Structure 1
């Protein structure tokens, strides 16, 4: 039985969270995770290039089979336009994997059982689900959100039951 590698993304222009989870049979484990932190003083093009380079590095290191991202939202028109530049890079880069997108409420519902869960509740549920060590610390909410995205993809695609 081979392990299936899943990538979860919480895409933004300034701090993109990512997480690679492995699924083997019923077991799910954290392989690696982090954030792509951008220098906010740099032009959008430079930040997007850095993001793309990090995506390439992740794909070179791990045999990702499935990828998902959290759906973007913003209350301000200009912020939305900037955010969707970053979404475009992820969309193009992961299109061959059939990149899927999940709303934040869906992620919270799948991971915690409540679509209105707080960030803390989401992180606690992720810690339990992935059996993370007691001293594990999330680098940011972006990283934990990316883990939640990957867990949602695993559940929605029923990868635990369909593991090869």
Structure 2
């Protein structure tokens, strides 16, 4: 008796959660990517965390709990989050960093590794230019995923984050070089 291995069975799709953290709204985007690299839209939304006059600690709790609930419902295998950039306003940068921390904690509590991408890496992956504006990102995300109608900016950024990770993981697999080695030394 011989064991046979099916060469036609492709691995199941990988579900990727993209998060665009914010202290007012946190964007959430979920896509599936199959073995051939085809990306399919699963879910997107913006978590409105500042409603009802919530103080800042309450907003962080809403980010954490909202993302945990989404992860429980959609069961993503991988997570990508926007890397913090330098803002002109120090207070805004600190709040963004704390919102990002709440998002990262939600993923880590669920046992996921968090992949981080800068805004310019996301724009480059989705639009082809690291200097693209938000409307270009929204348009390309909608076109790539076949979405109709207007796409809320934070949700579009989160979907772009998930798409970027899908492209990066596929490139890493093809090339066989870890992503960390891609970065230019400054």
TM-score above 0.5, yes or no: yes
Q: Give the counterpart of 1:89 among 87, 102, 105.
A: 102
Following TM superposition, where does structure 1 have runs of at least 4 consecutive aligned residues deviating by more than 3 angstroms?
none
Q: Which has the higher strand share?
A: 1
Larger radius of gyration: 2
Q: Distance in 1 between matches of 2:57 and 2:167?
A: 35
Give 5+ residue unaligned stretches, structure 2: 1-10, 175-186
Matched, 1:35 2:46: yes
Which of 108, 125, 132 pairs up with 2:140? 125
Gaps of 5+ in 1: none
Tell me what 1:157 maps to.
169
Aligned to 1:7: 17
Give me the whole-angstrom Cα distance separating, in 2, the residues matched to 1:127 and 1:78. Answer: 32
- 1:113 match: secondary structure: coil
- Superposition CA RMSD, Å: 1.9
In the alignment, the residues of structure 2 paired with residue 82 and residue 99 of structure 1 have an alpha-carbon distance, to the nearest angstrom, of 20
Q: Which has the higher contact order (CA 8 A, sep 6+)?
A: 1
Q: Describe how 1:6-155 pairs up with structure 2 within 5 A.
A: 6-26=16-36, 27-39=38-50, 41-73=53-85, 74-95=87-108, 96-132=111-147, 135-138=148-151, 140-155=152-167
Give me the whole-angstrom Cα distance separating, in 2, the residues matched to 1:120 and 1:91: 26
Say how many residue pairs are matched: 159
